[in-house]
């Protein structure tokens, strides 16, 4: 049986303002995000721990962050980029991939970001930034939410239940608001900021599957120093690695799949009642 809850909608300014206030108040907001949904919260440690528990994750699991499109560059420490990787090329690649749709990057973290939103990899303190893409109307929500919360970034995680739950397997992210309401009915303060037209949101990104984003890391490029730097796809999600390679090649960058990305993420299916 469907679980229904009244949704706010991304095309209504009053609803966007209400969802932003909910974030600032500590709620978990399931927000329209490119062609699917993501869970967005305040970035403080207590709220991130609670969001992890709501998903069934370990409470201390490191979170990802998001921000409005014009605030993303400042979340990375560009001074810590490897010498053989020009910052300008990485920023051009970001512009190309986030201009096309939802995507994620992992790179050196700005010093001001807290420990619960960063992780160490080969001696580099990194942050994973997930964004819905520059064209997504959800940027208006993100801008309002960071202003309400008094910060320049937010915690974000995929809108699914964790594989860490007892007896659970991997679950793809939700791309229907009704499915989120059913899975997270136990979260008393869940707020859903829905796409006004979910089919149109998916159609707007024909090269992206409606699932968690592909993540490309640039903090530790691999390969021969005499050859173009090789960046790693750490998660093969909504955008196919071949599309990432096509965006990177004109910039003199190569891309390969990391061992963690051998299998591309799946797309959630729904029972007939939710389709």
Give 181-197 pLDDT, tens digit per residue.
Answer: 889 988 888 999 999 99
- Quickly state the pLDDT bin for 87 (edges 50, 70, 90): very high
231-259 tens-digit pLDDT: 999 999 999 999 999 999 999 999 999 99
SS3 content of the chain, % helix, strand, coil (to 5): 35, 25, 45
Residue 185's pLDDT is: 86
Question: Which pLDDT value is given to residue 167?
Answer: 47
6-37, pLDDT tens digit by residue?
Answer: 689 999 999 999 999 999 999 999 999 999 99
Q: What is the pLDDT of residue 1?
A: 29
Region class of 133: left (phi > 0), else alpha (psi between -120 and 50), else beta = left
pLDDT surpasses 70 at 48: yes
Domain boundaries, the chain: 8-200+207-262
Residue with tokens 């730097």: 229
Band of pLDDT at residue 169, cut at 50, 70 and 90: low
Q: What is the DSSP letter of 78?
A: G
For the entire predicted model, the pTM comes to 0.93
Question: What is the 8-class DSSP label of residue 208?
Answer: B
pLDDT at 204 over 50: yes
Mean pLDDT within 164-169: 51
Residue 2 pLDDT more than 60?
no
Distances (CA, A) of 111 to 72, 131, 179, 249: 14, 20, 37, 30
Q: Distance (Å, rounded) from C-alpha 204 to C-alpha 217?
A: 26
Residues 196-217 have a mean pLDDT of: 97
Residue 255: the pLDDT is 97
42 CB burial (10 A radius; 0-12, 13-18, 19+): buried
pLDDT at 119: 97
CA pair distance 249, 166, nearest whole angstrom: 43
CATH of 8-200+207-262, one of 3.40.1390.10, 3.90.870.10, 3.60.110.10, 1.20.1560.10: 3.90.870.10
């Amino acid at each position: 049986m469907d679980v229904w809850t009244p949704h706010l909608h991304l095309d209504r300014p009053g609803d966007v303002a209400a969802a932003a206030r909910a974030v600032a108040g500590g709620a978990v907001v399931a927000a329209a995000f490119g062609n699917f949904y993501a869970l967005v919260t305040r970035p403080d440690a207590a709220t991130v721990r609670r969001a992890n528990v709501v998903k069934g994750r370990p409470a201390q699991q490191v979170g990802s962050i998001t921000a409005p499109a014009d605030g993303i560059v400042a979340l990375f420490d560009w001074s810590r980029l490897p010498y053989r990787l020009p910052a300008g090329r990485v920023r051009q690649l970001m512009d190309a991939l986030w201009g096309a749709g939802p995507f994620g990057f992992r790179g050196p973290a700005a010093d001001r970001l807290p420990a619960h939103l960063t992780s160490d990899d080969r001696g580099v303190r990194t942050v994973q930034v997930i964004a819905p893409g520059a064209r997504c109307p959800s940027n208006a929500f993100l801008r309002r939410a960071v202003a309400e919360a008094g910060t320049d970034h937010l915690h974000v995680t995929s809108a699914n239940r964790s594989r860490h739950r007892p007896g659970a397997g991997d679950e793809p992210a939700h791309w229907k608001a009704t499915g989120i309401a059913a899975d997270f009915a136990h979260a008393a303060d869940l707020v859903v900021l829905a796409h006004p037209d979910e089919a149109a949101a998916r159609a707007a990104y024909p090269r992206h599957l409606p699932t968690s984003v592909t993540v490309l890391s640039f903090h530790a490029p691999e390969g021969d120093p005499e050859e173009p730097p090789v960046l790693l796809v750490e998660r093969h999600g909504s955008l196919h690695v071949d599309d990432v390679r096509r965006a990177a090649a004109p910039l003199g960058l190569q891309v390969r799949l990391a061992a963690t990305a051998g299998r591309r993420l799946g797309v959630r299916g729904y029972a007939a009642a939710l389709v």
